[in-house]
Amino acid sequence: MTALNDLLFDSFEVHRILVIAPLRVAKYTWAAEMDKWEHLAGLRYSIAVGSEKERLAALKADADIYIINRENVQWMVDKAPFNFDMVVVDELSSFKNHETKRFRALMKVRPKAKRIVGLTGTPSSNGLMDLFAEFKLLDMGERLGRFIGNFRSNYFAPERSNGPVVFSYRLLPGAEREIYRRISDITISMKARDHLKMPELLESNHMVQLSKEERKKYDEMCQQLILSLPEGEITAANAAVLSGKLSQLANGAIYTDDGGVIRIHDRKLDALEDIVESMNGKPLLVAYWFRHDFDRISARLTKLKVPFEKLDSDRSIRKWNVGELPVALIHPASAGHGLNLQSGGSTIVWYGLTWSLELYQQTVARLWRQGQTANTVVVQHIVAESTIDERMIMALKGKNATQAALIEAVKANLRKSR
């Protein structure tokens, strides 16, 4: 924002700036940061969220910076004049898919902006293939090419395929270095730990064990891709579905084919209860993945009479940041980007894991970031022993949280169960 201020009022290089960000970040974070700093007091901003009438009014307002959420990019391109000479994409990784409507819409008007900046902490969470769309948005294909087919053939070779269908690619020898060389002139990478005084990050696994009966159900799902229970039947059509079912089993409950939920065990709930108790009232952020995880965690916390809320509103986020919530529940997909939660606590526990390295890193970064006053940030993972949980931890630690890792994990579980 300081750079934008200088471009507007010092060098006079730009006059109207568009910021594209995740909804909550667009609605609150940018405005809050501009209001916070005295030297940015002269910046006039207009937030284009809400109803179509409100968005149109905001885009017509007299301002220097216009902020819109990424879901409304296509609407804006279709319905409003694109008269911005600079664009800032907050969380550039949300444009890593060249086939999405938001990407195609923004590419239509990209030539009208003479300056563009992309911000992200996870530019290639699923591999360097992610960079193609992101850099095409930045330079219109100058460095990595205009077409995804050419980019793939120049830098990658098929790794897993079934006839003409390629499931994953591997980098060709020297390709990584060449990609970095080509983008280096417009790319700057800064790690917070290199430039800021960051707290120490401590990670640990809280292991839980399934009983023989619970293990039998888990292995049956692995071997037969179907689990028959008195309450209903669960089937898995492919590796991705099986991965999700195994994750649910590890967490303690599973969805039936007709949408019901069957409880399998409470191992992770008991572990979470122990962790909550060990916090002695200090705030704890709990990341969950499945809806039934949230429901079961909520029921257990209610039974324990522990105050908690889901962080999905301004009110709940404010309560967390001022220390009014002993426990807060967060879903990585809905609150993983941009939220400032470091004022509320310094410990996060993962009840259920995710394959997405991007969502994992971004969620941890809600606490492990500038402004965190604690000396250490603690990240705990509740892991069901000898389940897919362990493979997910390995994939995340190895920064290989991709579809290929997911499939390998399923295969490993199948081999192990047999």
Distances in Å between the alpha carbon of 379 and those of 24, 275, 313, 331, 367? 24, 12, 23, 15, 10
Instruction: Tokens for 235, please give them.
Output: 């089937």
Give per-residue pLDDT as tens, 112-167: 999 999 998 778 767 788 899 999 999 999 999 999 999 999 999 888 778 788 87
Q: What pLDDT is attached to residue 221?
A: 80
Neighbours of 289 (CB within 10 A): 21
Q: What pLDDT is attached to residue 416?
A: 54
240 — pLDDT class (breaks 50, 70, 90): confident
Distances in Å between the alpha carbon of 197 and those of 121, 188, 235, 255, 369? 18, 20, 49, 44, 9
What is the rounded distance in angstroms from the CA atom of residue 279 to the CA atom of residue 206?
A: 14
What is the rounded distance in angstroms from the CA atom of residue 317 to the CA atom of residue 313?
A: 6
In this predicted structure, the answer to whether residue 63 has a pLDDT above a threshold of 80 is: yes
Instruction: Tokens for 66, please give them.
Output: 């216009």
The beta strands (E) that lie in 209-351 are given as 226-229, 232-235, 253-255, 261-263, 284-287, 308-310, 327-330, 347-350
Neighbours of 401 (CB within 10 A): 25
Neighbours of 265 (CB within 10 A): 21
Average pLDDT over the chain reads: 87
Instruction: Tokens for 371, please give them.
Output: 């402004």
> Which of 86, 349, 58, 411 shows the shortest CA–CA distance to 206?
349
The beta strands (E) that lie in 220-326 are given as 226-229, 232-235, 253-255, 261-263, 284-287, 308-310
Give per-residue pLDDT as tens, 253-309: 999 888 889 999 999 999 999 999 888 889 999 999 999 999 999 999 999 999 999
List, in sequence order, the alpha helices (H) in 43-174: 52-60, 73-79, 101-109, 131-139, 148-155
Which fold is adopted by the domain 2-194?
Rossmann fold (3.40.50)
What is the rounded distance in angstroms from the CA atom of residue 339 to the CA atom of residue 91?
A: 12
Instruction: Tell me, yes or no, if the two domains 2-194 and 200-417 fold the same way.
Output: yes
Higher-confidence residue of 78 and 189: namely: 78
**3-class secondary structure, 107:** helix
What is the rounded distance in angstroms from the CA atom of residue 335 to the CA atom of residue 314?
A: 12
What is the rounded distance in angstroms from the CA atom of residue 253 to the CA atom of residue 265?
A: 7
Which residues make beta-bridge pairs with 229?
232
In this predicted structure, the answer to whether residue 410 has a pLDDT above a threshold of 60 is: no
| CB within 8 Å of 93: residues ≥ 6 apart | 120, 122, 123, 125, 130, 134, 358
Distances in Å between the alpha carbon of 295 and those of 101, 111, 189, 336? 33, 47, 40, 20
Q: What is the pTM of this model?
A: 0.63
The beta strands (E) that lie in 239-362 are given as 253-255, 261-263, 284-287, 308-310, 327-330, 347-350
Which fold is adopted by the domain 200-417?
Rossmann fold (3.40.50)
Enter the DSSP assignment of 286: E
Q: 334-345 in b/e burial notation, b at 16+ Cβ within 10 A?
A: ebbbbbbbbbbb
Arithmetic mean of pLDDT, 24-35: 84
In this predicted structure, the answer to whether residue 224 has a pLDDT above a threshold of 80 is: no
> In the chain, what are the domain boundaries?
2-194, 200-417
Instruction: Tokens for 398, please give them.
Output: 């190895």
What is the rounded distance in angstroms from the CA atom of residue 385 to the CA atom of residue 80?
A: 54
Give per-residue pLDDT as tens, 173-223: 999 889 989 998 898 887 766 777 788 899 999 999 999 999 888 888 877
Q: How far does the chain reach from its first CA to its final CA, in angstroms?
A: 57
Instruction: Tokens for 185, please give them.
Output: 């002139």
Give per-residue pLDDT as tens, 1-23: 999 999 999 999 999 999 999 88
The answer to whether residues 406 and 208 touch, using CB atoms and an 8 Å cutoff, is: no
The kind and range of the H/E element at 186 are none
